[in-house]
Structure 1
Amino acid sequence: MDGKLYYKDPYMKSFRAHLLKQEKDEQGRWFAVLDETAFYPTGGGQPYDTGALNGVKVIDVEEIDGEIRHYLEAELDETADMVACEIDWDRRFDHMQQHAGQHILTAAFVELFNYATIGFHLGKEMVSIDLDISELTEEQAMEAERLANQIVSEGRLIETKWVSEDELPNYQLRKELTVTENIRLVIIPDFDYNGCGGTHPKSTAEVGPIKILDWERQKNKIRVHFVCGGRVLTQLHQKHKVLRELTDLLNAPEQDLAAASKKLIENGKDREKSLDAMQELLLSYEAKDLLSSIDHTENRKIVNEIFQNRSIQELQKLARLMTALSNEVIVFLLNETESKLQFVCARGAQQTVSMKSISSELFPLINGKGGGNDQFAQGGGEKLITGELLLQHARDKVLLDVK
Structure 2
Amino acid sequence: MKLYEKDSYLTTLKTTITQQGTDEYGNFVSLKDSIIYPGGGGQPADRAWIQAIPVTKIQKNENDVRYYLKEAPNNLPQQVDIQIDWAQRFDLMQQHTGQHILARVCEDLFQVRISKEQITLTDSFFEIDTKLSPTQLQTAIARSNEIIRAHKSVFILFPTEEQLKKETLFTTPPKYFAGLRLIKIADFDLIGCGGTHVQNTAEVQGIAFTQIKEHKKGMTLHFTCGNRLFQQFESNQKQLATLTKATQVPITGLTAFFKEQQEKIDTYQQRLAAYQVQTLITTAKEIAPNFVYSEATTANVKELQQAARKLAEIYPLALICTATKSDDTLRYHLTCLKENSKLPIGQLIKLSNQKFGGRGGGSALKGDGTLPYSQKEAWLHFLQD
TM-score norm. by structure 2 comes to 0.79
Q: Does 1:366 align with 2:356?
A: yes
Alignment gaps of 5+ in structure 1: 398-403
Do the aligned partners of residues 166 and 251 (structure 1) sit closer, same or farther apart at CA in structure 2, a change above 3 Å counting? same
Which residue identity lines up with residue 134 of structure 2 in the other structure?
A: E
Q: How far is the alpha carbon of 1:258 from its aligned partner?
A: 1.6
1:98 aligned partner? 95
Q: Does 1:235 align with 2:225?
A: no
Contact residue 164 and residue 178 of structure 2 kept, 8 A? no
Q: Does 1:199 align with 2:196?
A: yes
2:25 aligned partner? 28
Q: CA–CA distance in 2 between the matches of 1:319 and 1:166?
A: 78
1:15 aligned partner? 13
Contact residue 48 and residue 62 of structure 1 kept, 8 A? no
Q: CA–CA distance in 2 between the matches of 1:373 and 1:360?
A: 11
Q: How far is the alpha carbon of 1:265 from its aligned partner?
A: 1.7
Q: CA–CA distance in 2 between the matches of 1:337 and 1:128?
A: 38
Q: How far is the alpha carbon of 1:41 from its aligned partner?
A: 1.9
Which residue identity lines up with residue 134 of structure 1 in the other structure?
A: T
2:139 aligned partner? 143
Q: Does 1:39 align with 2:2?
A: no
Which residue identity lines up with residue 3 of structure 2 in the other structure?
A: L
1:123 aligned partner? 120
Alignment of 1:59-70 (within 5 A): 59-70=56-67
The number of residue pairs the alignment matches comes to 380
TM-score norm. by structure 1 comes to 0.76
Q: How far is the alpha carbon of 1:303 from its aligned partner?
A: 6.5
Contact residue 16 and residue 32 of structure 2 kept, 8 A? yes
Q: Does 1:170 align with 2:199?
A: no
Q: How far is the alpha carbon of 1:37 from its aligned partner?
A: 0.8
SS at 1:163's partner residue?
Answer: coil
SS at 2:41's partner residue?
Answer: coil
Deviations 1:83-126 (A, max 9, x none): 12111111111111112222222343455455554552222222
Which residue identity lines up with residue 180 of structure 1 in the other structure?
A: A
Q: How far is the alpha carbon of 1:184 from its aligned partner?
A: 2.9
Which residue identity lines up with residue 2 of structure 2 in the other structure?
A: K
Q: CA–CA distance in 1 between the matches of 2:71 and 2:197?
A: 30
Which residue identity lines up with residue 262 of structure 1 in the other structure?
A: K
Contact residue 309 and residue 335 of structure 2 kept, 8 A? yes
SS at 1:76's partner residue?
Answer: coil
Q: Does 1:134 align with 2:130?
A: yes
Q: CA–CA distance in 2 between the matches of 1:22 and 1:9?
A: 26
- Which residue, 249, 254, 264 being the options, matches 2:251? 254
Q: Could you say what the CA RMSD is over the residues aligned between the two structures, in angstroms?
A: 3.9
Q: How far is the alpha carbon of 1:168 from its aligned partner?
A: 0.5
Q: CA–CA distance in 2 between the matches of 1:113 and 1:362?
A: 56
Do the aligned partners of residues 362 and 267 (structure 1) sit closer, same or farther apart at CA in structure 2, a change above 3 Å counting? closer
1:265 aligned partner? 262
Contact residue 42 and residue 62 of structure 1 kept, 8 A? no
Q: CA–CA distance in 1 between the matches of 2:249 and 2:90?
A: 39
2:86 aligned partner? 89
Q: CA–CA distance in 1 between the matches of 2:258 and 2:242?
A: 13
Which residue identity lines up with residue 148 of structure 1 in the other structure?
A: S
Q: CA–CA distance in 1 between the matches of 2:371 and 2:141?
A: 57
Q: CA–CA distance in 2 between the matches of 1:345 and 1:50?
A: 57
Contact residue 134 and residue 217 of structure 1 kept, 8 A? no
Q: Using the aligned pairs only, state the percent identity.
A: 26
Q: How far is the alpha carbon of 1:159 from its aligned partner?
A: 2.3
Which residue identity lines up with residue 16 of structure 1 in the other structure?
A: K
Q: CA–CA distance in 1 between the matches of 2:164 and 2:190?
A: 10
Q: CA–CA distance in 2 between the matches of 1:301 and 1:119?
A: 58
Q: CA–CA distance in 2 between the matches of 1:330 and 1:111?
A: 63
Q: How far is the alpha carbon of 1:362 from its aligned partner?
A: 6.6
Q: CA–CA distance in 2 between the matches of 1:377 and 1:188?
A: 61
Deviations 1:119-177 (A, max 9, x none): 5222222222334x523233333333233223322323222233212221111232235
Q: Which moved more, 1:148-157 or 1:90-99?
A: 148-157
Deviations 1:322-358 (A, max 9, x none): 5544568777777678855667777898x99978598
- Which residue, 73, 78, 98 being the options, matches 1:76? 73
Q: How far is the alpha carbon of 1:233 from its aligned partner?
A: 1.1
